Chain A
Amino acid sequence: MHVRPDNPLIVQGDGKVLLETKHPKYEEVRDFLSRFAELETSPEHLHTYRIHPLTLWNAASSGMSKPEIVDGLRQWSKFDVPPDVLNQVGETIERYGLVKLAQHPDDRKLLRLEFSTAYVAKLVGQVKTVRELLVEDGKRYLAIQAGHRGIFKQRMLAAGWPVEDLAGFIEGDPLRIVPRALMLGNGKPFVVRDYQKKSAERWFQDGRPQGGNGVIVLPCGAGKTIVAIHAMAKVGQKTLILATNGAAVNQWVREILDKTELRADQVGAYTGDEKNIRDVTVATYQILTWRASKDAEFAHLHLFRDQNWGLIVYDEVHLLPAPVFGATAELQGRRRLGLTATLVREDGREGDVFSLVGPKRFDMAWQSLEEQGFIAEAKCYEVRVGWKNGAALTYEKAREGEKFRLAAVNPAKLEVLDTLLKRHVADNVLVIGTYLDQLHEIARRYKAPLITGETPGPQRDVLFQKFRKGEIKLIVVSKVANFSIDLPDANVAVQVSGSFGSRQEEAQRLGRVLRPKANGAHFYSLVTRETKEQEFAMKRQLFLTEQGYRYYIQEGSG
């Protein structure tokens, strides 16, 4: 066994790859790894990547070869690369391209399958879930219905046969989208950052059939909207954008108008309040999945077919609701771009997202952007708060199901909140919570506006506008603020209560303060000491530290 301790990688037998981040060659090795392995955790000093079939097929689809991967691993590894891993790389990569999906020369409703050998065709034919999708195409060929393209690829992938999709995309109606030289809002030059360009280019792949679909993973505040605008400009066709809620839709519309030369009459919002279908339409997931009753049809799914869309953008793609999965599976002929800050889906359906929207095309560790100053340097604090006035006894006597809520709304948190708000009196602060009673009390205590699900959209916009302008320094928000609320100047977030250790929620809430600012960002979580809340906070702590954030634990006092 050869040992080269000066190298930065440890390749484990199960395909896990550990990378030292303080190594002088870190960036080079990171770029190499990110092409065929997935970043799993990125705590300070040691990042963990995972090599698995999907990532290897993605690498193969982007033209990476087995020797390139094997040689690189051998070159950078501290220990001999496990033979199992080398075999896995070889066998997996070699599988890519054995089955190809191509346009049918005669019938546009069909897509023809091309197999590298008859034996491969035979093996594929034996896969039960796939066999039912196959259609005889003359005597020599097999084909599938064009509408089954997504589901076919999904099932093939599950069976270990990655399909090289060369069928290309249906061209949508052309739309000239030109980025502005100067932004409309502030008159400053509109500059697309390198990583934004790079991610859009990796997704687009010069218009080749290999590109044009997939997911880009960037942290909140890294400018995913701009990536999408860049991608839209490259495609140059009518675009449908799906976002999480009305506020996010308004933000998209504002950004597109601010940064492209599209006119207001070319960009429409399709929400519960207004239903404008224009060249670029931004809709919410909710409206798409709305139906009059449980048994009724989804009334707005027609939106996918209403226009000849050339590109569909899925914002916060990890939140893609189940009904949209089905619709997306039928849209495999359209270009698709998924944007997200976190790969985590609490229901574990990440694989479905990637197989339907497309593989991950670009990923960047949060702290890499932080180091380059593109997002704020964030410090996370867990402030542990004790009980007061005999509340501990109430907690101990409470039923198990009640305990978490009691700990979350611990009144002693308010005293700690006083201290924090005094400390950040000059900052723009978001107080985020889950329990409305608690939030109402906080809003009353500090005479601050409260935004909940019941706050009408226009009112929210007004409040956000005031917050941006600095007229309001403190906003209290409920769970509605978890996603897509663009508050550029918020640099302090105080989480007074959260869900049961939701990692996704934690990441999104932290994301609210990640846009770059001079004094960095502070993210406080108030947690009642030695309670269930602290147990759940431990999970969140693990998640954030795995993401590479500096996490401090403090004892809170009023």
Chain B
Amino acid sequence: MSTENQEAPVDGEGGGRRRRRRRRRRGGGGAAENTTEVVTTSEVESEEPGARGRRQRRVFRDEFDAQGAALPASGKMVVKPKTHRQKFKPSAGLARRRRMSRGEIDELAAYFMKMPETLVHALYRALGGQPVRIGEQERVVQLTVRALAQGNRLGGLLFQMQPRDRQALAVLIQCGGLAPAEEFHKELVLMLGGRENDWARTMQVLGDRGLVSASAPVEDGFFYLVPEPLIDPLLEHLGAELELATFQHEDIKVVDQRPFCPALDFSLATLATYMDQHPPKLTQRQEVFKAQKEELDKFFAQVWAPESEVFQLHYDFLMMHGMIELRGDRLSVNREVVEEWLTLEPEDQRDLVFRALEKRMSLAEWVLWAVNSAKGEWVPEAPLVALYRRWRRGEDWRERYHKGLYHSPRGGDREGYTFSALVNCGMLELGVWGQQKVYRLSPRSTALLDPPEDEGFSKFYLTPNYEIIAPAGLAPVLLFRLGEIAELMGCDRANTYKITEISIEQALKKGWRREELLEFLREYSQIGLPQNVETTLRAWMGGDGDVEFHELTAITVHRAHIRRFESMRGLRAYVLHRFAPGVYAVDRRRLPEITLALMEAGFNPGKEIRRYPADEESAQNRERLHHLLAEARELREDPLARAQRADTLPEDLHPVPGGAIAQAQKRKEGPKGPPRAGPQDVRGLIEKAIKGQLGIEMTYHSLKDDSRRQLLVLPERIALNREGAAVLVALDLESGTRLTYAIAQIERARTTDKRIGAGA
């Protein structure tokens, strides 16, 4: 991984830093447009509130406008389809800066204050100042900063310089603003011709002007260094030198062009859906079974060719980010992770893609940005390779500089680089014109780097014949959710889905609820939800989900703050479910994070978590209270009435003994035997009797003569007869003989109250 990647931001300032990094690298790529782009961290940070949101690739409608918004099963918020996509690349959205902020000026001044006086003086002199006439160093620094802040002063300086000087400076910046002198001279000779001595002199000229300095020499070797704060202003004025050569000819033949090259998020979401619906089985070598792979390739024939690296890129991306994983011998989709990725900030989504590309080719992201700077034109291979080589060398030099290795460990051979990794995975298009190889961004990469502002598709078509047509350009999260409720039938410019009884059943298993599903279709279908479809879906779904239990952490917001809470995108991201205005479910594991976010947003979250029931003791107390209440209620009743009610429970009423009714009933009932019991109960009873040495009174159904006998036995053990049936071995107390009784034939049984000894 490159040094830049190791610097990946983790805090809130990361975005700004990351953008600046990109701009520089792009500057290294050499784009004319860079001449208008100057940005600093503080500038990014000082954007007006909400600017970040506006820059997002998709701006969704306010999610909370409608009462009782339906939410998906995954627990993620429903993301409205994009209505607007704003162009955003690392520095494109930022205009030429006219003046530095106070913070920037202070930062620059602090840097110059630490620089050797002579270097600052040289720079100030080159910018048209006269340091000798100024006494205090602090004042010189102040004026130098001011001169730099006036962009035209630096522009003027560069304009007056020799083209060779500007070229050398540009190359040095492309190498990361740092290069070992000797090797850098060779690089310049390689690139631009001339002799090393001449280039050494050129670098001295640049040094005299304060634009380039050197590290402390070690064994006659030293590094050229461009002072860090100068890089941004220099980039602004070295556009022509940094620009990549382009090439255009109508006979350029595109190699292996696919008929359809959609944005990655579209194809990734579609592939995830496909894998969710047709989980591929893997071989022991962790490859998709051939037959299934062929089917998959056939399905995605519009997007990639069989055995293509494009599929592999998709697959690796899903795998490395945990969107799919192996469960048993099949791949399984982690829907929540996919949804999470699809709802990430576009720039974050892109970073993950770049991370996957980085595995295929070092500095892949920067190659794409460099080619992107050609604005759709072809970039010949040679200058692109040269640029790439400088980047790679720059990485190497930086590492050596920090390790103090001032002399090259390798020979002077030029490294060979190829971009086939990016071509094969469909990010770059390779064109051939005669022997000349040229590159340009594929539509897939273009969509990644320069997402169109608005693709105009916010809804899908749900037709009365249960088909859903979802054009590419629809928010991929919608595509993915469609895949949860309908069968994916085809992947093309417009994906086709079919709602079936099975797909709805699957959707319910995935956690969709009836009303939520209907609401989703109703809301995102261009033509609403046709009556026949709705009725059929209701019939298919039945009453499933009418009553549900939830285990969650809920947050409540005072009604005065609901609107503010719901309008804050940063907070909405934490909301897993909205039950009603002001009542939301959140992830309990993220409570500290949520508390912090709430406080940052100006809310005052309660310090304690309200529990239902509150603590255990309170619950017990409450229960005790209820007991007391019951007692109190009992006491409240008229004692006579209570006595009567207790005495006259219907199940306790019997005929008066000796009366005609009682006698008739006695005759009818016959002798009262033990209660009825099933084989399991009988077995349990026997075990209990054996353990307690109790007798068993039972009604035994003899199959021999179909008679029922009342017996009193002393059980000894449970055994199996010849047929394998369980039998009771017991002593018949009446006859004194040991007999076996099939347990299945014991109809009634109870233990006798008294213990009976073995000799009884």
* Chain A interfacial positions (CB closer than 8 Å to B): 1, 3, 5-6, 10-14, 18, 41, 43-46, 78-79, 82-84, 382, 538, 541-542, 545-546, 550-553
B493 A43 Cβ-Cβ under 8 A: no
For the complex formed, measure the closest distance between the CB of A277 and the CB atoms of chain B, giving whole angstroms: 46
Give chain B's interface residues, CB within 8 Å of chain A: 257, 259-262, 301-302, 443, 447, 452, 455-457, 461, 463-467, 469, 471-473, 490, 492-494, 526-527, 530-532, 535-536
- Chain B residues lying within 8 Å of A84, measured Cβ to Cβ, are 259
Show 28 A/B contacts (Cβ-Cβ < 8 Å), sorted by A: A3-B456, A5-B455, A5-B457, A5-B471, A6-B456, A10-B471, A12-B494, A14-B490, A41-B465, A43-B464, A45-B463, A45-B526, A45-B527, A46-B461, A78-B471, A79-B493, A82-B260, A82-B493, A382-B532, A538-B536, A541-B465, A541-B532, A545-B530, A550-B464, A551-B464, A551-B530, A553-B531, A553-B535
Beta-carbon contact of B535 and A13 below 8 Å: no
What is the CB-to-nearest-CB distance from A507 to chain B, in angstroms, rounded to a whole number? 14
Q: How far is the CA of A10 from the CA of B474 in the complex (A)?
A: 14
Cα–Cα distance between A382 and B531 once the two chains are bound (Å): 11
Chain B residues within an 8 Å CB radius of A552? 531-532, 535
The CA-CA distance from A79 to B469 in the complex, in Å, is: 14
* Beta-carbon contact of B492 and A14 below 8 Å: yes
B469 and A1 within 8 A (CB)? no
Q: Which residues of A contact B456 (CB under 8 A)?
A: 3, 5-6
With contact pairs A78-B471, A84-B259, A545-B532 given, residues A11 and B463 touching in the complex (Cβ less than 8 Å): no
C-alpha gap A83/B254 in the complex (Å): 13
A12 and B530 contacting across the interface, CB-CB below 8 Å:
no
Which residues from chain B contact A10 at a C-beta distance below 8 Å?
469, 471, 493-494
Judge whether B530 and A44 touch: CB under 8 Å: yes
The answer to whether A13 touches B301 (Cβ under 8 A) is yes
User: Among A6, A45, A83, A541, which residue has the most Cβ atoms of chain B within 10 A?
Assistant: A45
Count chain A CB atoms within 10 A of each CB in B465, B467, B469 and give the residue with the most.
Answer: B465
Chain B residues positioned under 8 Å from A538 (CB to CB): 536
* B536 contact set on A, CB distance < 8 A: 538, 553
Q: Are B461 and A45 in contact (CB under 8 A)?
A: yes
Q: Are B469 and A18 in contact (CB under 8 A)?
A: yes
Query: Given the complex, which residues of B lie within 8 Å of A545, measured CB to CB?
Result: 463-465, 530, 532
Question: What would 6 more interface pairs be, CB under 8 Å, given A3-B473, A43-B463, A79-B493?
Answer: A5-B456, A41-B465, A45-B463, A79-B472, A545-B465, A551-B530
B457: chain A residues within 8 A (beta carbon):
5
- Say how far A10's CB is from chain B's closest CB, in angstroms: 5
Q: A3-B455, A83-B259, A553-B536 are in contact. Are A78 and B493 (CB under 8 A)?
A: yes
Complex Cα gap A12–B261 (Å): 13
Which residue of A is nearest B446, CB measured? A1
A3 to B263, CA, bound (A): 12
Contacts of B472 in A (CB 8 A): 3, 79
Chain A residues with CB under 8 Å of B527's CB are 44-45
List of B residues within 8 angstroms of A44 by Cβ: 463-464, 527, 530
Residue of A nearest to B444 (CB): A1
Cβ of A378 to closest chain B Cβ, rounded Å:
14
B465 touches A43 (CB 8 A): yes
Chain B contacts for A11, CB-based, 8 A = 493
Chain B residues with CB below 8 A from A541, complex form: 465, 532
CB contact between A1 and one of B443, B461, B494, B530 (< 8 Å): that residue: B443
What's the Cα separation between A79 and B262 when bound, in Å? 10
Q: What B residues does A542 contact at CB under 8 A?
A: 465-466
Contact of A82 among B259, B447, B526 (CB under 8 A): B259
Most central of B443, B471, B493 by chain A CB within 10 Å? B493
Please report the C-alpha to C-alpha distance between residue A13 and residue B447 in the assembled complex, in whole angstroms.
20
What are the residues of chain A within 8 A of B301 when measuring CB–CB? 13
A546 to B466, CA, bound (A): 10
Using A13-B301, A45-B463, A45-B526 as known contacts, say yes or no to A1 and B531 having CB atoms under 8 A apart. no
A18 to B260, CA, bound (A): 17
Report the nearest A residue to B302, measured CB to CB. A13
Nearest Cβ on chain A to B81's Cβ, whole angstroms: 12
Which of A6, A46, A83 is the one whose CB lies under 8 Å from B469? A46
The smallest beta-carbon distance between A87 and chain B, in angstroms, is 10
- Chain A residues with CB under 8 A of B532: 382, 541, 545, 551-553
On chain A, the residues within 8 Å of B455 by CB distance are: 3, 5
CB distance from B346 to the nearest CB of A (A): 17
Give the docked Cα–Cα distance between A126 and B493 (Å).
39
Closest to A10 in B: B494
- B546 CB to nearest chain A CB (Å): 18
Closest residue of chain A to B492 (Cβ to Cβ) is A12
Contacts of B471 on A, CB cut-off 8 Å? 5, 10, 78-79
Bound form: Cα–Cα A277–B730 in Å: 103
- Are the C-beta atoms of B464 and A1 separated by less than 8 Å? no
Q: Closest CB of chain A to B489's CB: distance in Å?
A: 11
Q: Which residues of A contact B443 (CB under 8 A)?
A: 1
Q: How far is the CA of A375 from the CA of B391 in the complex (A)?
A: 72
Contact partners of B465 in chain A: CB under 8 A: 41, 43, 541-542, 545-546
Determine how close the nearest CB of chain B comes to the CB of A286; give it in whole angstroms: 35
Nearest Cβ on chain B to A477's Cβ, whole angstroms = 26
Chain A residue, CB-CB nearest to B456 = A5
Bound-state CA distance A13–B463 (Å) is: 21
Q: How far is the CB of A400 from chain B (nearest CB, A)?
A: 19
CB distance from B469 to the nearest CB of A (A): 6
- B671 CB to nearest chain A CB (Å): 43
Closest A residue to B259 using CB positions: A82
Cβ A82 vs Cβ B531 within 8 A: no
Nearest neighbor of B531 in chain A, beta-carbon distance: A552
Report the Cα distance A11→B493, complex, angstroms: 7
* Contact partners of B260 in chain A: CB under 8 A: 1, 13, 82
B427 to chain A, nearest CB (A): 14
> Contact between B463 and A1 (Cβ–Cβ < 8 Å)?
no
Q: Considering the complex, give the chain A residue whose CB is closest to the CB of B262.
A: A1
Using CB atoms, name the residue of chain B closest to A555: B535
Q: Are A13 and B259 in contact (CB under 8 A)?
A: yes
Name the residue of chain B whose CB is nearest to the CB of A530. Answer: B539
Residues of B within 8 A of A5 (CB): 455-457, 471, 473
For A3, the chain B residues whose CB sits under 8 A away are 452, 455-456, 472-473
Smallest distance from the beta carbon of B448 to chain A beta carbons, Å? 12
Q: A43 to chain B: which residues have CB within 8 Å?
A: 463-465, 467
Which chain B residues lie closer than 8 Å to A82 at the CB level?
Answer: 259-260, 302, 493
**Closest A-B pairs by Cβ, 7 of them:** A5-B456, A545-B464, A43-B463, A553-B535, A1-B443, A13-B302, A545-B465
| C-alpha spacing A125/B452, complex, angstroms | 53
Residues of A within 8 A of B452 (CB): 3
Complex Cα spacing A541 to B461, Å: 18
Residues on A with C-beta less than 8 A from B464 are 43-44, 545, 550-551
Q: Which of A3, A538, A546 has the most CB of B within 10 A?
A: A3
A542 to B467, CA, bound (A): 10
Q: Write the nearest CB–CB distance from A159 to chain B, whole angstroms.
A: 25
Residues in chain B near residue A550, CB distance under 8 A = 464
Cα distance, A77 to B498, chains bound together (Å): 23
CA distance A44 to B473 in the complex (A): 22
Question: In this complex, what residue of B is CB-closest to A43?
Answer: B463
User: How far is the CB of B324 from the nearest CB of chain A, in Å?
Assistant: 25
**Which chain B residue has the least Cβ–Cβ distance from A85?**
B259
Shortest distance from the beta carbon of A42 to any chain B beta carbon, whole Å: 10
Q: Give the distance to chain B from A153, nearest Cβ to Cβ, in Å.
A: 33
Whole-angstrom distance between the alpha carbons of A41 and B301 in the complex? 24
A residues less than 8 Å from B473 (CB atoms): 3, 5
- Please name the residue on chain B nearest to A382 by beta carbon: B532
Residues A13 and B461 in contact in the complex (CB < 8 Å), given A82-B302, A542-B466, A552-B532: no
Residues of B within 8 A of A83 (CB): 257, 259
Q: Which residue of B lies closest to A83 (CB)?
A: B259
CA distance A43 to B461 in the complex (A): 11
Which of chain B's residues have a CB closer than 8 A to the CB of A6?
456
Q: Which residue of B lies closest to A380 (CB)?
A: B532
Query: A41 vs B260: C-alpha distance in the bound complex, in angstroms?
Result: 24
CB distance from B50 to the nearest CB of A (A): 27
